[in-house]
Amino acid sequence: MKTLFCLLAAACAVVFPPRACAAPAKQDDVAREFLWQQFRELPADARPRVGVALSGGGAKGFAHVGVLQILSDAGFPVDCLAGTSMGSVVGSMYCAGLPFEKIWEIGGAASFAKVSGDYNAVGMLELVLSQKLFSSEKMESFVNSYMGGKTFDQLKIPFSCSAMDLKTGENIVFREGPVAIAVRASMNIPGLFSPVQYRQRYLVDGGVADFLPVQSARDMGADWVLASVTLGDYSAAKFHSILSYVMQVMDIRGAILAEAAMKKADFVVEPHVSDISFVELNRCPQAGERGVLAMNENIASAEESLIFFSINEIASQYNK
């Protein structure tokens, strides 16, 4: 009887709008679980291509790890992934096939010392007195330490990341070449780090041009896109340093860009990380845990969204 009900639920969804197919909660759960299993059994070339977009946000962006882990546990396919800034760091690790255990370990040991050798008392003094920006070369070495010098075409899942050309204002999307320098450019904070010079361009953090790269995921062929967004509460900011001013500008710019990008996504999850500042890398594990909570609360809704988007493909299995 359950199978019969679920088949009827699938047929109902094809004929009527989703909201018209009201059913008791338990029956909804049974139908969703059945239809989700049917979706998962579809060959990759017989279902919509699923993309994930990961926003910037500094330390807040480590919440994406928790989001991806819950998606993985639920059997959510990820056919392509686009990331910006911290989203590019997390996304590159995931697309390279690093185990979640290793990614959490990396987040637990995160510090600015691994991003730049200049982030110390002497470096800060030089930044203030001689206006000498930090170098982010160590970030590239750090990425290579877990990436093993991979290029984009060597990743297990198609991946792209965004940076901005400081001279033209263009959003530069990396989809080929070495991954490490692309990720370095994508999270190269303007006003703190020197621009990354690459292929005759001067590149800075992609968060100022494409904070939430939903369109990049679409350009990679995604039909349905889930966006993970980690925004800060810039209204509560306190200005006590040059860095705090820079981060405030980044947060405001990110919020403006995210508002438009979220409208282009099919499903949005927003982990509650607004109290974690851009530079609090010691709180990356906490951000990750909040990503787990947020995606866990929304996984059933995300499944339903993808099921309804794919209902014709699911129903076609019974027309053969």
Q: How far is CA 139 from CA 21, 180, 212, 276, in A?
A: 51, 8, 21, 21
What is the residue type of 135? S
User: Does residue 227 contact residue 261 with C-beta atoms inside 8 Å?
Assistant: yes
Query: Taking a C-beta distance cutoff of 8 angstroms, is the pair 53, 155 a contact?
Result: no
Quote the tokens at residue 144. Answer: 């290579």
As annotated, the active-site residues are 85, 205
**Gap between the Cα atoms of 198 and 211, Å rounded:** 21
Among the listed residues 97, 64, 94, 80, the one whose alpha carbon sits nearest the alpha carbon of residue 224: 80
Is 80 within 8 Å of 51 (Cβ atoms)? Answer: yes
Which residues are within 8 A (CB) of 316 and not within 5 positions of it... i.e. 6 or more apart? 46
Query: Tokens in use for 113?
Result: 């010392």
